[in-house]
A and B are shown apart, each in its own frame.
Chain A
Amino acid sequence: MSAAVQKTGMLGTIRRSVAWRALATIKGGVAGGFLLLVVLGAIFAPVLTPYDYDIQALTNAFQPPSLAHPMGTDEFGRDVLTRILYGARTSLSVSVVAISISLVFGMTLGAAAGYFGGRFDRMVMVVVDLTWSFPEILVALMLVAIIGPGVTGTLVAICVAYLAQFTRLTRSQVMALKSETYVEAARGLGASHAFILFRHLLPNCLGPVLVAGMLATGDAIILEATLGFFGLGAQPPTPSWGGMMSSGSGLLFKGPWIILFPGLCIALTVVAINLFGDVLLAKLDIRDRLRVV
């Protein structure tokens, strides 16, 4: 028991220091700083803005950016910046939660398939490869069609769309690691399968899989926004970045700022996630291990 605590403690220290080292580079610092800013903005939205995200003031509609409304107002007179801050809550939490669930399932499936092999492995891979060969947006649309539009549909859609990637990655990592001498030694000492999987194999493939998960979160934000843009994501009045652009796309002439700023926000966030992931990859020196195919 105490050994386990010590082990996770040590692992935690290593990962924390890598994150700090990544933040210390210029690229990582700017990207990480921006991400922190977005997250803080989402958390403290009620404190940061005097406006409400869904109270309409039609006399105030289509105000171009000004001091009172730094990003203008939309077709219902709602402050765009306020809606972006509240929208970040929906967009970020849906993407992060969906990817986390997908990671847990993908790692479990992939580790089991890679470790045990045989018929179970083949069965898992047949199912996983089914979604792997299709573009994420198509898989997501199929699921939203089944489950129905809204936050739940989006969540499940993102989960399933990225499951194949995480399963394949974990499986290939575990397959490469399971013939290492230390695994054979553990087996020789009579360790159980679960012990080998959880104490030796999974901690060793955590780095690449977590970074892949982080990079996928960037894609998931775009996927969530795309579904929102189609009107299939979070339903009004809940603000989401994609949903804001959906209603704004018909108003391109009257108020281009209504779509300009949410889009910029998505773009910057995704680029920041990719940059930070890239720095992490370089610092952890695992770029080669991320090849999935």
Chain B
Amino acid sequence: MLGYVTRRVLMLVPVFFAVSVVIFSMIHMLPGDPIENLLRVGSSPAQREALTAKYGLDRPLVEQYLLWMSNVLTGDLGTAIVQRRPVAQLVAQALPYSLSLGGLALCFSTVLGVVVGTIAASWRGSWLDQGLMGGVLFGSMLPNFWIGLLMILVFSVSLGWTPVSGARGWESLVLPVLTIGLGGTALVARVTRIAMIDTQGKDFVLLLHAKGVHPLTIQVRHVLRHALIPVVTILALRIGWILGGAVTVEVVFARPGLGSLLIKSLNQHDYPVVQASLLILAMAVMLGTLMGDLLQAAMDPRFRDSLT
């Protein structure tokens, strides 16, 4: 297991390198002179010199990359051009909002998905099974920013139950969590359902039935526990995807998280912030995938050999 963990963590190095090169090259691939894009209208040639020197754009590319990388690794993400503040500070402010939203959405879609999957598997083939599974599948096909807007329309504008947008208190979390969670439910429900149906055919379940254990007890205490292994793996792998969904939903609900920061900076051409938030999001996805793989390796020894 230790060998697997080492190999798996080492695999992150080239991926991180590649992602950082792509994100680094962003500023150089912009049409025109990058400094022209960074300068505000009416700046003097002296300011241009200063900016060029500040970003080290007069030095060779490799040197520039190494400089940028060493700054990033020591926590210096540069200074935001439009917002005129250290990028690290902006990111640090936004991160808790995204983490709380993503974490709660993950919990919500897990609980709902497992419950729906369990019910569907227990009454397999009935109208309840088809209705529930069809319902969550339908929900997962809809664009999540539209669901978000509809929810605002119904729960905030018409009913007045929740705040329309922003991040004041827990009430403002309800709708965003519901929006992201609904999208993720379908996958969890489907995996739970299939895994449970698989387990239901096992000999030990037959034995439990023969012993006269109540069917409900069998489903929840025995079948579900067995079936949860693939569910846990899928969930860990989905952490990054939940974060991706959070980007969209944050913008809809005007929640000041990393996603909102990214989109705002993209629209303002504030590239240091764009670079930093993309890098952080990419790292979060990589860590999520890493956790998923490690969890799976811990639960299923066969999986450890799959990496060579």
Contacts and interface: CB of A to CB of B under 8 A. Distances in A.
B266 A230 contact: yes
B57 interface: no
Given A138-B247, A148-B31, A267 B266 contact: no
B267 A231 contact: yes
A135 B240 CA distance: 7
B247 A145 contact: no
Interface string B146-180: 10011011000100000010000000000000000
A252 interface: yes
Nearest to A274: B141
B274 interface: yes
B142 interface: yes
Interface residues of A, number: 37
A74 B263 CA distance: 24
Interface in A209-229: 218, 222, 225-226, 229
B247 A267 contact: no
Contacts of B281: 138
**Interface SS of B by simple majority:** helix
B141 A144 contact: no
Interface string B121-156: 000000000000000001001110110011011000
Given A138-B247, A138-B278, A146-B25, A133 B286 contact: yes
Task: Output the residue of A130, A146, A148 with the most chain B CB within 10 A.
Answer: A146
Nearest to A148: B31
A253 B157 contact: yes
A290 to B, nearest CB: 14
A19 interface: no
A145 B26 contact: yes
A86 to B, nearest CB: 19
A270 B144 CA distance: 12
B252 to A, nearest CB: 7
B263 A230 contact: yes
Nearest to A144: B266
A142 B15 contact: no
Interface residues of B, number: 44
Contacts of A126: 14
Contacts of B23: 142
A153 to B, nearest CB: 11
A259 B31 contact: no
B205 interface: no
A249 interface: yes
Nearest to B278: A142
Contacts of A271: 138, 141-142
B282 A226 contact: no
B266 A270 contact: no
Nearest to A138: B244
B263 A134 contact: no
Nearest to A272: B141
A133 B142 contact: no
B207 to A, nearest CB: 31
A40 to B, nearest CB: 23
A252 B29 contact: no
A265 B157 CA distance: 22
A218 to B, nearest CB: 7
Contact of A145 (B141, B157, B266, B285): B266
Contacts of B282: 134, 138, 142
Nearest to A273: B141
B306 to A, nearest CB: 12
Contacts of A222: 143
Contacts of A23: none
A256 interface: yes
B157 A142 contact: no
Contact of A226 (B19, B248, B266): B248
A222 B141 CA distance: 9
A263 B18 contact: no
11 contacts: A136-B244, A138-B240, A138-B244, A141-B247, A144-B266, A146-B25, A147-B29, A222-B143, A226-B143, A260-B150, A266-B146
Given A142-B22, A231-B267, A271-B138, 5 more contacts: A133-B15, A135-B245, A142-B282, A230-B251, A271-B142
Interface of A: 126, 130, 133-138, 141-142, 144-149, 218, 222, 225-226, 229-232, 245, 249, 252-253, 256, 259-260, 263, 266-267, 270-271, 274
Q: Which 9 A-B pairs have the closest CB atoms?
A: A135-B244, A263-B146, A222-B143, A267-B142, A137-B244, A135-B241, A230-B263, A146-B29, A146-B26
